Amino acid sequence: MGVVLITGANRGIGLELARQMAARGRKVIGTARRPEEAAELQKVAKVIALDVADEASVEGMAREVGDEAVDVLFNNAGVSSKSPKLEVCTKEELTRVLAINSIGPVLVTKALLGNVRKGERKLVVNVTSQLGSIARNEGGSYGYRASKAALNMFTSCMAKEHKDVTFIAMHPGWVQTDMGGKNAPLKVEESVSSMLLALERVGTADSGSFLNFDGTTIPW
């Protein structure tokens, strides 16, 4: 059985994905920018260093994974944005958020596509946000919204280009993490268990979908 690989797995949703997948008996590889600080992740996963915005780091991660089959790839690494309004947007900040939230998952998927093709599920899950939905856009959060909308488009492109792999953009809900804050309605354990249950029902016909954590469809 191949592995489950999770980027940004040292905290929040990524760490809980690693814990729940390990509890299911899966071999887990989790990435972190600073593996030496990922003590909790090391308890349930093999930890590999990765900065998704650094192409050399992505290539190094792929070399360490080697020829191992990857059943499920969770592109989970992401950051929030400091550009809530047009008046405070800067090129530096927008570029930073897009590099991590949008371009990073593309580079990781490109590097590991051969590994995913060797897996049983052949599933790539891009952890996105409903804030990337243009249909539901309420303005603000420029960098974050744009980065997730771009990630959704990348997901659709990959699904149309590679029919042998299933690509899903999945919103984990508003979750009580460092990014989501303590007022979020969902506990991280609830979000992840719901995501994994929904993903059990996902098949090749669903490739390119934009799904909520409960498996329902979110409008583009």
Which residue, among 200, 202, 220, has the nearest Cα to 210 in the 3D structure?
220
Decide: 93 and 143 in contact? Cβ < 8 Å: yes
What's the number of CA atoms in the CB half-sphere (13 Å) around residue 216? 5
User: In which region does residue 141 sit, left (phi positive, over 0), alpha (psi from -120 to 50) or beta (all else)?
Assistant: left
The residue from 74, 142, 144, 154 that is catalytic is 144
CA distance 152 to 130: 10
Adjacent-strand bridge partners of 90:
none
Length of the chain measured in residues: 220
Respond yes or no: is residue 144 known to be catalytic: yes
Decide: 189 and 16 in contact? Cβ < 8 Å: yes
Pairing of strands 3-6, 46-49: unpaired
Residues annotated catalytic, as ranges: 144
